């Protein structure tokens, strides 16, 4: 094991790490809402007004800053009026996209906003462009935000919320290049303008309107959409989706090369952010439009025995490293990104929490979000990792992945340094160099690792993969050994050097 270096510049911060970079996403899909978040007031499962108490408590500990709802693809077939008013009168609809489940609409606008209130999260509502209308979305906004005496505001009050909700974040459709209407970029840009013209400030809540961006790092969609949009001013965000997908037969079965392959795909988030922001800068040099990644995560092959339309998957140590690599990428580009939302919160794709009946477990990905909380609100610092790259193979092709990667931020005199060592077998020692001669006065070191690359948590063994506090002598030596297969978070108080 050669010595790596991690050089942290304290002088030229990249930008503030907005808490919204740690956002989440909840869709009416499989067990995310029904059974995962919502069980109803009459359930035998402990709940707070119908919302599962255990899930609420677990999510509360990682303080989701923003939650996107009701989809996803579901958003472009969702009609908000179905989900307000007395629950027993709400219509039962077929969920077109996700297994034709029956949607009771018992979890609607008020219930979602109550969830956000409990968690202290900003709501982010995705509107319906594919099968909805400008009027429908504009009325949803008035219903949520208007403080005056309109029929819709009276209706909201009659449904239990006299005070407006003040929802700021609104998505104008979802994946409109696909499930949101199969638009070409020019047609979607025209639709976007038509919608945005009528989505206005109600009672002082200026909407932050988010347009549908590319599928992955698709440059063509971005160029054509922004070029057709021209100088149209009513757009604040532009949202890409990037799923790094999978490698190997399943979420829990993969070989060492497939371990590296997936982590390397997760690391491509960097290219997406840099290249999409670069393209956007050509049209929007003052960066008035913020880049958003409102769906990201791993997406494994369907789990045998589960409905493939419900996108249920286990989450292993490998997913945890993929999440850490992604969040670190967001931090390193903090000045280029305004929001990001992992897909999804509960029981779907790279879930933070899994439930079964009245049982719940925290996935390894949850623990990464927990560890990374201390970056929120900090100033992202320019950090260079110099470690031997790790070679691997995808079939006959030779590839490599960075030996160490991570991000650093500073809040007051507290430095947070998060580091991923993806090596399947070997630890990596690194010297941590702080510019300006600053020194580490004292440090805590929290680690997520396991001897098994495919380790995961089960309802029987819910703490198989968890955060461990491990001693470090980084304050004395300036060096730290990062264990193999690990995510590390070092929190250190800095002092001036001698
Ligand atoms: O997150 C699952 C689905 O993935 C979403 O509904 C859609 O937007 C994306 O294709």
| DSSP assignment string, 323-336 | HHHHHHHHHHTTTT
Q: Are residues 329 and 451 in the same domain?
A: no
**Which strands form 479-482's sheet, in the order they lie side by side?**
383-386, 4-8, 428-434, 479-482
Residue 392 main-chain phi, psi, to 5 deg: -155, 175
Atom of ligand 1 nearest to the CA of 178: 10
Tell which one of 172, 343, 344, 352 to mutate to probe ligand 1, the residue whose CB is within 8 A of the most ligand atoms.
343
| Neighbour count for residue 428 (Cβ, 10 Å) | 24
Ligand 1 centroid to residue 175 C-alpha, Å: 8
What's the pLDDT score for residue 436? Answer: 77
What is the three-class DSSP state of 398?
strand
Q: Are residues 232 and 352 in the same domain?
A: yes
**3-state DSSP helix/strand/coil % of the chain, to nearest 5:** 30, 30, 40
What's the pLDDT score for residue 159? Answer: 98
Q: Are residues 371 and 422 in the same domain?
A: no
Q: Are residues 107 and 256 in the same domain?
A: yes
Give the contacts of 485 (CB within 8 A, at least 6 positions apart): 317, 321, 421, 422, 423, 424, 449, 450, 451, 453
What's the pLDDT score for residue 495? Answer: 87
Q: 414: left (phi > 0), else alpha (psi -120 to 50), else beta?
A: beta
Residue identifier of the C-alpha nearest atom 6 of ligand 1: 72
Q: Which of 111, 191, 261, 295 is catalytic?
A: 295
Atom of ligand 1 nearest to the CA of 295: 1
- The token pair at 342 is 């992992």
| Alpha-carbon distance values, 339 to 19, 188, 473, 498 (Å) | 8, 22, 35, 40
Q: Are residues 244 and 372 in the same domain?
A: yes
Beta bridge partners of 408: 381, 417
Ligand 1 centroid to residue 59 C-alpha, Å: 21
- The token pair at 275 is 């290249």
Last residue of a domain, one of 345, 379, 413: 379
State which residues form the domain around 408.
Answer: 4-10+380-496
b/e code 312-344 from CB counts within 10 Å (16+ = b): bbbbbbbbbbbbbbbbbbbbbbbebbbbbbbbb
Q: CB-side exposure of 77: number of CA atoms within 13 Å?
A: 17
**Is the Cα dihedral 124, 129, 135, 136 positive or negative?**
negative
Longest dimension (CA), the chain: 71
Ligand 1 centroid to residue 73 C-alpha, Å: 6
DSSP E strand stretches across 274-345 = 290-298, 337-343
Atom of ligand 1 nearest to the CA of 343: 1
| Alpha-carbon distance values, 338 to 16, 215, 221, 223 (Å) | 10, 18, 20, 20
DSSP E strand stretches across 140-207 = 169-172
- The token pair at 232 is 């149209």
CA gap 474, 6 in Å, rounded: 12
The CATH number that applies at residue 392 is: 2.60.40.1180
Contact 164, 109 (CB under 8 A): no
Assess whether 295 carries a catalytic annotation.
Answer: yes
What's the predicted TM-score (pTM) here? 0.97
CA gap 366, 320 in Å, rounded: 8
Residues lining ligand 1, judged by CB closer than 6 Å? 27, 71-73, 174-175, 295, 343-344, 349
Assess whether 20 carries a catalytic annotation.
Answer: no
Contact 311, 257 (CB under 8 A): no
Q: Are residues 362 and 475 in the same domain?
A: no
Residue identifier of the C-alpha nearest atom 8 of ligand 1: 72
- Bridge-based pairing of strands 337-343 and 23-25 is parallel
CA gap 442, 254 in Å, rounded: 39
Last residue of a domain, one of 328, 358, 379: 379
| Neighbour count for residue 8 (Cβ, 10 Å) | 20
Is it true that the peptide bond before 70 is cis, omega within 30 degrees of 0? Answer: yes
Residue length, the chain?
498
Q: Are residues 277 and 396 in the same domain?
A: no
Tell which one of 295, 310, 341, 349 to mutate to probe ligand 1, the residue whose CB is within 8 A of the most ligand atoms.
295
Ligand 1 centroid to residue 122 C-alpha, Å: 21
Atom of ligand 1 nearest to the CA of 71: 6
Q: How many domains does the chain have?
A: 2
Q: Are residues 110 and 215 in the same domain?
A: yes
Q: Are residues 286 and 392 in the same domain?
A: no
Last residue of a domain, one of 321, 355, 379: 379
- The token pair at 182 is 């199969």
What single DSSP character describes residue 101?
P
Tell which one of 179, 216, 310 to mutate to probe ligand 1, the residue whose CB is within 8 A of the most ligand atoms.
179
If you search the block for the tokens 């929190």, which residue do you land on?
491
Ligand 1 centroid to residue 239 C-alpha, Å: 13
Q: Are residues 133 and 160 in the same domain?
A: yes
The CATH number that applies at residue 93 is: 3.20.20.80
What's the pLDDT score for residue 11? Answer: 84
What's the pLDDT score for residue 496? Answer: 80
Q: Which of 111, 175, 261, 264 is catalytic?
A: 175
Mind listing the pLDDT tens digit of every residue in the chain (498 residues)?
A: 689 999 999 888 899 999 999 999 999 999 999 999 999 999 999 999 999 999 999 999 999 999 999 999 999 999 999 999 999 999 999 999 999 999 999 999 999 999 999 999 999 999 999 999 999 999 999 999 999 999 999 999 999 999 999 999 999 999 999 999 999 999 999 999 999 999 999 999 999 999 999 999 999 999 999 999 999 999 999 999 999 999 999 999 999 999 999 999 999 999 999 999 999 999 999 999 999 999 999 999 999 999 999 999 999 999 999 999 999 999 999 999 999 999 999 999 999 999 999 999 999 999 999 999 999 999 999 999 999 999 999 999 999 999 999 999 999 999 999 999 999 999 999 999 998 778 999 999 999 999 999 999 999 999 999 999 999 999 999 999 999 999 999 999 998 865
Residue identifier of the C-alpha nearest atom 7 of ligand 1: 72
Q: Are residues 22 and 142 in the same domain?
A: yes
Beta bridge partners of 237: 210, 290
CA gap 464, 64 in Å, rounded: 24
Residue identifier of the C-alpha nearest atom 5 of ligand 1: 72
What's the pLDDT score for residue 498? Answer: 56
CA gap 101, 79 in Å, rounded: 16
Q: Are residues 373 and 386 in the same domain?
A: no
């Amino acid at each position: 094991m050669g010595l790596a270096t991690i050089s942290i510049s304290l002088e030229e911060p990249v930008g503030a790490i907005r808490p919204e970079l740690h956002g989440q996403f909840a869709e009416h899909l499989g067990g995310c809402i029904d059974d995962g978040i919502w069980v109803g007031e009459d359930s035998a499962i402990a709940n707070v007004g119908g919302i599962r108490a255990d899930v609420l408590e677990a999510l509360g500990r990682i303080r989701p800053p923003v939650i996107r709802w009701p989809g996803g693809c579901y958003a472009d077939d969702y009609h908000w009026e179905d989900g307000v008013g007395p629950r027993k009168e709400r219509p039962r609809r077929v969920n077109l996209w996700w297994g034709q489940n029956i949607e009771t609409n018992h979890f609607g606008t008020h219930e979602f906003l109550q969830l956000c209130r409990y968690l202290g999260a900003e709501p982010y509502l995705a509107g319906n462009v594919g099968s909805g209308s400008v009027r429908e979305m504009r009325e949803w906004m008035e219903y949520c935000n208007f403080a005056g005496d309109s029929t819709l505001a009276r209706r909201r009050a009659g449904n239990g919320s006299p005070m407006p909700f003040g929802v700021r974040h609104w998505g104008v459709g979802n994946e409109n290049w696909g499930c949101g209407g199969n638009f070409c970029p020019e047609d979607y840009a025209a639709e976007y303008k038509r919608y945005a013209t009528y989505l206005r400030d109600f009672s002082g809540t200026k909407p932050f309107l988010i347009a549908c961006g590319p599928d992955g790092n698709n440059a063509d969609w971005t160029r054509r959409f922004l070029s057709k949009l021209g100088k149209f001013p009513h757009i604040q965000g532009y949202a890409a989706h990037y799923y790094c997908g999978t490698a190997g037969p399943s979420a829990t079965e993969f070989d060492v090369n497939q371990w590296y392959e997936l982590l390397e795909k997760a690391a491509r988030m960097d290219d997406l952010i840099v290249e999409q922001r670069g393209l956007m800068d050509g049209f929007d040099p003052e960066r008035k439009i913020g880049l958003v990644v409102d769906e990201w995560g791993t997406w494994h092959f369907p789990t045998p025995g589960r409905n493939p339309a419900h996108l249920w998957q286990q989450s292993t140590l490998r997913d945890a490293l993929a999440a850490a690599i992604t969040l670190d990428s967001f931090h390193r580009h903090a000045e280029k990104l305004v929001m990001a939302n992992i897909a999804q919160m509960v029981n779907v794709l790279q879930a933070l929490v899994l439930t079964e009946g009245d049982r719940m477990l925290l996935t390894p990905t949850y623990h990464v979000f927990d560890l990374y909380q201390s970056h929120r609100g900090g100033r992202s610092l320019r950090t260079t990792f110099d470690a031997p790259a790790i070679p691997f193979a995808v079939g006959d092709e030779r590839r490599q992945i960075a030996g160490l990667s991570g991000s650093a931020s500073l809040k007051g005199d507290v430095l947070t340094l998060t580091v991923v060592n993806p090596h399947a077998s070997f630890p990596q020692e690194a010297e941590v160099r702080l510019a300006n001669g600053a020194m580490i006065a004292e440090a805590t070191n929290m680690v997520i690792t396991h001897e098994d690359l495919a380790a995961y948590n089960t309802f029987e063994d819910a703490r198989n993969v968890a955060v461990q506090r491990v001693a470090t002598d980084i304050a004395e030596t300036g060096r730290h050994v990062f264990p193999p297969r690990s995510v590390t978070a070092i929190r250190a108080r800095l002092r001036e050097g001698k």
